[in-house]
Amino acid sequence: MAKHLFCTDLCLERGEPLAGTGNAPKRALMLAWPRGQWRTPRWESAGMSPELRAAMHAAAKGGLHVALIDKVEAEGSLPTLHAVPEGIYADFTDEAALIRAIGDYVGGKVFEGRHDPRQVIIVCTDSRRDACCARHGFSTYKALVAAADTSKFHIVQATHIGGCRFAASIVVMPQRQRYGRMTAAQAPAFLAALEQGRVYVAAYKGRTDIAEPIQVAEIAAMAWADRNGKAEQSVHLHGELPETVAEGQTLALEAEIAGTKLTISMHAQTFFMQGNCSVVADNEGEDVLRWCLDDVIPLSATP
């Protein structure tokens, strides 16, 4: 029997960078469903009626991120339906009411429920979708649960959220932050950063909805500030992005953070990308052009 090749291992071996891959949903519906019943696609999970499957599929086709969630904590159970970033959750007396709530949310109307002000940390542990998410995600999820202050953080394990080759993959809402290559050992530092309103730079993928080189530059500046004992993380960038990108192309952007101006240089490099273990098993993949950090050079302190 051939040895399983993990997409996370191959991604690391090829040197593909994490920075620049930030992409978090604007809105998401999370339906509590036992992890053992998860299937791929998630709206065909075991125990779902045809009507609920259709509602979940329609929500996904409507542009929402639709996730199934579960937890390992021994106390209590998850409410049926959660809406983020609104932080509303509710139980329903019957399935018809649940399906109506899903449809309403797709249409822009948030269902009635209780408000949960906590930050939501969504950790992919979807073994049905990818072996790496189970391999790395579940241990990280359990470590976060063990370390978290439950009055401040709502932590759930979830179906596929993307970025399998960067497992463990995490989304933090409502901030729309994406993290990857998170480990169980990083859980306390990660939670401490979020509690202080900071980005956890060590596993940060980048700010959502901006160009990849800007994500790379922002993370490089924040990492420089961390290494030099600067608490401030607001980055101001200057420079023009190229209209087209080719292998080996270089780019330099100027950044200002914590009163210091920096020059951040990077280059474009092609990587053979295999997004999940199934792609690896099928010997498929594609070449992607990524921006790779070269150097961060301090220029001067701002007067």
pLDDT of residue 302: 53
Q: What is the pLDDT of residues 276-286, one digit of tens each?
A: 999 999 999 99
Of the CATH numbers 3.40.640.10, 3.40.30.10, 3.30.420.40, 3.40.50.2020, which one belongs to the domain with range 7-206? 3.40.30.10
Tokens of 127: 């073994």
Give the sign of the dihedral formed by CA 102, CA 104, CA 105, CA 111: negative
Q: What is the mean pLDDT of the chain?
A: 93
The token pair that represents 267 in the structure block: 């280059």
Percent of the chain with pLDDT over 90: 89
Q: How confident is the model at residue 76 (pLDDT cuts 50, 70, 90)?
A: low
Q: Which residue has the tokens 């997409």?
A: 7
- The half-sphere exposure of 136 on its side-chain side, counting CA atoms within 13 A, is 24
Least confident of 29-38, 145-154, 197-206, 227-236: 227-236
* pLDDT tens figures, 119-151: 999 999 999 989 999 999 999 999 999 999 999
Q: 39-43, 150-154, 229-233: which has the minimum mean pLDDT?
A: 229-233
Residue 232: its H or E element: none
Tokens of 193: 């950063």
Reported pTM: 0.94
Please state, in angstroms and as integers, the Cα–Cα distance from residue 157 to each residue in 32, 169, 239, following that order: 10, 10, 40
Structure confidence by residue, pLDDT tens digits, 188-207: 999 999 999 999 999 999 99
Q: Which residues of 221-237 are buried (b: 16+ CB within 10 A; e: fewer)?
A: bbbbbbeeeeeebebeb
- Considering only residues 303 and 48, tell me which one the structure prediction assigns the higher pLDDT: 48
Average the pLDDT over each of 20-24, 30-34, 77-81, 274-278 and give the range with the smallest value: 77-81
**Confidence grade of residue 301 (pLDDT, cut at 50, 70, 90):** low
Range(s) for CATH 3.40.30.10 in the chain?
Answer: 7-206
Q: Give how far the C-alpha of residue 270 lies from the chain's centroid of Cα atoms, to the nearest Å.
A: 23
* Stretch 219-236: mean pLDDT: 90
Say yes or no to pLDDT of 50 above 90: yes
